[in-house]
Amino acid sequence: MVYNRKDGWYRKAKQEGFRSRAAYKLEELDRRAQLFTRGDKVLDLGCAPGGWLQFAAKKVGPRGRVVGIDRLEMKPLPELQQVQILLGDITEAESLERLREALGGPADVVLSDMAPDTSGVGFTDHMRSLELVRLAFETSLVLLKPGGTFAAKIFDGPDLEDLVKDIKARFGKTRRIRPEATRKGSRELYLVATRFKPA
């Protein structure tokens, strides 16, 4: 898809010191669904280039903890001491243990803004994105504390409903939000699931 990278959200992010326009999507999710409390432990899957890390760090404050992972190397955020960034691929088994250790206790919030590399074939891309969301969901099952929150980017498509059903079964409330900062024509939206119920 052709889009103007330097649109209003991009410029706003630059002016306000956020590493990505994606920060405004998280801001809207938080405004509408109250994701964060000061002192929270937050996990951010697919965190590069770091806009969500910056926003989450501001919300949880210096006594909170924000652990991010991405398979791409990113510039560190030394000014945010509550943030730890891991280089790794969430599809690799060892990533889960590394995340658990970095968090130092169960997470209050698990976020995923992961997106697959697109092949251009709509169905293949949809299936890849579903796999990533399922992986993020499975990670939340292991690392979230009871009552915790899971928010993930999803792409609308034919097989989404089975996954949403599985997520709904483990959380007290789920809702879908399409933030204003989402590009026009994009099929992405966010699923926000609150009140995690461990098995």
Ligand X SMILES: C[S@@+](CC[C@H](N)C(=O)[O-])C[C@H]1O[C@@H](n2cnc3c(N)ncnc32)[C@H](O)[C@@H]1O
CB of 172 to ligand X, least distance (A): 25
Q: Which is nearer to ligand X, 52 or 150 (CB)?
A: 52
* By the rule CB under 6 A, 59 interacts with ligand X: no
Beta-carbon-side half-sphere exposure of residue 188 (alpha carbons within 13 Å)? 21
Instruction: Give me the catalytic one of 153, 168, 184, 197.
Output: 153
Question: Residue from 29, 43, 48, 109 that binds ligand X (CB under 6 A)?
Answer: 48
- Give the C-alpha separation, 47 to 71, whole Å: 9
Task: Say which amino acid occupies 151.
Answer: A
Q: Which is nearer to ligand X, 22 or 60 (CB)?
A: 22
* By the rule CB under 6 A, 66 interacts with ligand X: no
Q: Which is nearer to ligand X, 68 or 148 (CB)?
A: 68
* By the rule CB under 6 A, 57 interacts with ligand X: no
CB of 46 to ligand X, least distance (A): 3
Question: Residue from 13, 20, 103, 125 that binds ligand X (CB under 6 A)?
Answer: 20
- In b/e form, how buried is each residue of 151-168, taking b as 16+ CB within 10 angstroms? bbbbbeeeebeebbeebe
Contacts of 104 (CB under 8 A, 6+ apart): 41, 65
* By the rule CB under 6 A, 102 interacts with ligand X: no
* By the rule CB under 6 A, 27 interacts with ligand X: no
Task: Let me know: does 42 contact 48? Beta carbons within 8 Å.
Answer: no
- Give the C-alpha separation, 157 to 127, whole Å: 9
Beta-carbon-side half-sphere exposure of residue 29 (alpha carbons within 13 Å)? 32
Contact string 128-157 vs ligand X (x = CB under 6 A): ----x-------------------------
- Can you name the residues that pair with 155 across neighbouring β-strands? 188
153 counts as catalytic: yes
CA distances from 174 to 5, 21, 96, 168 (A): 31, 24, 24, 6
Q: Which is nearer to ligand X, 47 or 60 (CB)?
A: 47
CB of 197 to ligand X, least distance (A): 26
Instruction: Return residues touching ligand X (CB under 6 A).
Output: 19-20, 22-23, 46-52, 69-72, 89-91, 113-115, 132
